[in-house]
Amino acid sequence: MAAARTDATSVSSLDTVENLTDIDSIKAAFDKYCDEEVTINADLEKLIENQGRLENKMGNMHKVIPNIQILETDSKNLSNMVAFTSTLAENVSSKVRQLDLAKSRVTSCITRVEDILDLKFCTDGVQTALQNEDYEKAASHVHRFRNLDENVLRMSLTSGESDTLDNSFKLLHEAENKLKSIVNSKFDSAVHSGDSASVERFFKIFPLLGLYDEGLTKFGKYLSSQLSDSADKSMRLAEAMGSEDKRANVMYADLATQLFEHIAKVVEVRQPIIETYYGAGRLFTLLKILQVECDRQSRKILQQFKTKRNFDHVVQQVQQSTMFQKQPASEKYEPKGLDILLSEVVLLNTRAELYLRFIKRRSTNDIEAGFQNDVDIVKEKLTDVDTFLDNCDLKRLMQELIGSYILMEEYFMREMVLKAVSMDSLDTGQPTSSMVDDSFFIVKKCARRSLSSGSVDGVCAMLNHACTVLEQDFREVLHSRIRVGFPSDQYLHVAYNMVQSSLQQGKLQSSDTEKQKTQFLTTLNNAEASCEYCQSLKTMLEAEVSKSFHQSSEHTKAKLESCLSDLGAAANRFKDVLEFGFTQLQSNAVKPRVKPLADGYLSTSHNITEEDFSNFEANDPWVQNCIVQLDTMLAAFKISLTSGNYDKFVSLITSEITSQMEKAVLKTAFNRLGGLQFDKELRALVGYLSTVTTWTIRDKFARLTQMATILNLEKVTEILDYWGPNSGPLTWRLTPTEVRHVLGLRVDFRSDEIKKLKL
């Protein structure tokens, strides 16, 4: 390639050489060719150097050539040998295959012969066994015969033998049918005569004859009749029981429990037999039959329960009382009477839930064991189980019962809470009145009772109702009492004359406003306690719910959680009532009382002489009196309020004092000594208030303290020692404008100096 290019250029350059005319170009061309010559010479020398080496290699190759010929012949020989061996191997293996085929034919032939022998043996055996009434043996012969493939056996026979075989088959089919009818009738007569051993004996024979469903159905019916008998007996016994018996109140729940326990025991005892003789996966067939009887007996028990407990009538009365809530209490159904009835209803449902869960668990386990390899079948069968149990009579009856239960429990809860409210009383020394404890006790009792029923929907409904009763009924009571308001001092003056005149007429008692005050403060405490109780009720129920329903589906849990969270919302509604109460208290009690204190401050001069200052040392003009007043007021509230509410009250008062004091300070004129006086007063006030509350109140006084600092300056520019980069740990709560304003309060500070300050 490179050479070709050189050629090409040389040809073209030769052409151009011919055409060259001036000496410079010719010289340049000449130089170029000289250079090329040198390179070409170098290349040629390199090639010549290689010549020796190449000749050596060629010599070596010549020597190898004869060996290659030998190699070729050897390879051909080897190939022939391999081909020969392969043919040989193939021949051998085909013979082995033939042998193997022959062997398997022999084996199946032997099996057939054995089958035929078996068949003959069975034929003879069945006859004798039937004659000897050895049904198990007969059945096992039939079972053996049923496992033989009749068609194959018939095919493999020569015509000569077919007669005897036909005969055998005929006999065996006859025997099978005979055995079926014998087992059927024997089973029936055993049931009839109550011979449980024989019942069990024949029950085990059914599966050998392929009669799985028949066997389980018949056995199920037998067990059902036993159930029925014992249930009837229990019912008679229970009804003979005296009303003073301690279980009399839960008699029907006990009866249901006995029924369920009986069935559970039957399942417990019979399941192994069924698994052994019928195989896994068939238990549900029996359970379905037993459930029919369970439904029948449950209906009977509930019927009796309703009749004896006058259930429907009570439900109706409760319904009516709920409808016409305004009717006088005397005409309403007495809620207390429901207590015992409700407990029995709950117990009935608990037992039923427990029983149904047991049945479901057993069915599920059995199906999973029986159809391990087929996920689809398991799924399908489990859906069947769920549908069956969800729609069984017992379930429906219980749903109806729970429906009535919710109605009555709600009535009970609401009426009892109303009663607690109407019987509200305040024990001296107690911050809250009786209705809070009582109402929450009732709500808790009802919620927990519903929880013990095990019915998810029942629990949810009662949680909803509990929220309604607390958030609506009970909260409304508190709210209306708060709305009345704390008797204000201004109002007192007006009321005083009225009270005086009423007293003369004997209508009012002098302590009426005191009562009103106490009621207001108690209600405030009640609201606080209610908020707290509501939270702890929620926490407690949450714990119990998660304990009782931890196995439930996510869907169920979400439902319960949603209803529980409403209870948390109810707590916040109580908080709102509390807040409302405090705004009432602020406008009616706090403001009017703090106002005169601030006024007192205003009327004290802070532009004072040295003499005044030292005089004030001995005869305090304002703050001591202020503290005494505050102390009297706080002491009065401290007795009546819970510690939480009292702290809140102190905080409220503190805020009021600071805001009113701020206003007052900004209206006061100070000199240096007046500033000092104010600082002393403020320290005394903060010191006092710190002792009455656990809260830190210094923060609330931050602005006032900073004002005092400013008012204590020697000269205007000194503020810069505390301001901006010099503020250190101090965070200023006053704006620059406010600082200037406060500085302006000092009569001895010049306003142009204040204006010049760079803040």
Partner 1 sequence: MEDYKYLFKVVLIGEAGVGKTCLVRRFTQGLFPPGQGATIGLQIWDTAGQERFRSITQSYYRSANSLILVYDVCCQASFDSLPTWIQEIETYASTKFCGYLVGNKTDKINDKEIPTHIGQQFADRYEMDFIETSAKEADNVDKLFYTIAKKLSKEAKQGELTSDDTTKFNTDNTTSISNCSGCLKF
Q: Which residues bind partner 1 (CB under 8 A)?
A: 323, 387, 390-391, 396, 399-400, 402-404, 406-407, 410, 457-458, 460-462, 464-465, 467-468, 472, 555, 558-559, 562, 565-566
Closest distance to partner 1 from the beta carbon of 556 (Å): 9
Say how far apart CA 28 and CA 12 lie, in whole Å.
16
Nearer to partner 1, 199 or 563 (CB): 563
User: Which structure tokens are listed for 641?
Assistant: 């309020």
Say how far apart CA 154 and CA 148 lie, in whole Å.
11
Torsion of CA 577, 581, 582, 583, to 10 degrees: 100
What 3-state class would DSSP assign to 267?
helix
Closest distance to partner 1 from the beta carbon of 367 (Å): 20
Nearer to partner 1, 451 or 673 (CB): 451
User: Which structure tokens are listed for 585?
Assistant: 């208290």
Closest distance to partner 1 from the beta carbon of 464 (Å): 4
Closest distance to partner 1 from the beta carbon of 406 (Å): 4
Residue by residue, DSSP assigns 268-302 as HHHHHHHHHHH-TT-HHHHHHHHHHHHHHHHHHHH
Closest distance to partner 1 from the beta carbon of 341 (Å): 16
Within 586-671, residue ranges assigned H as helices are 591-602, 610-618, 623-640, 643-666
Nearer to partner 1, 224 or 298 (CB): 298
Closest distance to partner 1 from the beta carbon of 403 (Å): 5
Phi, psi for residue 194 in degrees, rounded to 5: 70, 25
What 3-state class would DSSP assign to 444?
helix
Nearer to partner 1, 459 or 634 (CB): 459
Say how far apart CA 253 and CA 266 lie, in whole Å.
20
Nearer to partner 1, 227 or 389 (CB): 389
Closest distance to partner 1 from the beta carbon of 442 (Å): 17
- Residue 758's Cβ-count burial label (10 Å; 0-12, 13-18, 19+) is exposed
User: Which structure tokens are listed for 75?
Assistant: 């390879």
Closest distance to partner 1 from the beta carbon of 458 (Å): 7
- Residue 464's Cβ-count burial label (10 Å; 0-12, 13-18, 19+) is middle
Residue 543: other Cβ atoms inside 10 A: 10
* Structural contact between residues 544 and 451, judged by C-beta atoms closer than 8 angstroms: yes
- What is the maximum span of the chain, computed from C-alpha positions, in angstroms? 155
CA-nearest of 283, 281, 134, 136 to 204 is 136
Within 430-589, residue ranges assigned H as helices are 434-452, 456-468, 475-484, 489-505, 512-548, 554-585
Closest distance to partner 1 from the beta carbon of 165 (Å): 54
Closest distance to partner 1 from the beta carbon of 178 (Å): 45
Closest distance to partner 1 from the beta carbon of 293 (Å): 23
Residues in Cβ contact with 384 at an 8 Å cutoff, skipping those fewer than 6 apart: 284
Closest distance to partner 1 from the beta carbon of 407 (Å): 5
Nearer to partner 1, 162 or 562 (CB): 562
User: Which structure tokens are listed for 185?
Assistant: 């009738």
- What contacts 24+ positions apart, CB below 8 Å, involve 388-392? 388/288, 388/291, 389/291, 389/356, 389/359, 389/360, 392/291, 392/295, 392/356
Residue by residue, DSSP assigns 212-253 as HHHHHHHHHHHHHHHHHHHHHHHHHHHHHS-TTSTTGGGHHH
Nearer to partner 1, 554 or 610 (CB): 554
Say how far apart CA 313 and CA 341 lie, in whole Å.
13
* Structural contact between residues 582 and 524, judged by C-beta atoms closer than 8 angstroms: yes
Nearer to partner 1, 98 or 387 (CB): 387
Say how far apart CA 682 and CA 699 lie, in whole Å.
13
Closest distance to partner 1 from the beta carbon of 565 (Å): 8
Nearer to partner 1, 498 or 558 (CB): 558
Nearer to partner 1, 552 or 605 (CB): 552
Nearer to partner 1, 461 or 521 (CB): 461
Nearer to partner 1, 88 or 558 (CB): 558
Place of tokens 């009423």: 502
Closest distance to partner 1 from the beta carbon of 311 (Å): 15
Instruction: Name the strand (E) or helix (H) holding 361.
Output: helix 338-370
Nearer to partner 1, 567 or 745 (CB): 567
CA 506, 509, 515 angle in degrees (round to 5)?
160
Nearer to partner 1, 557 or 680 (CB): 557
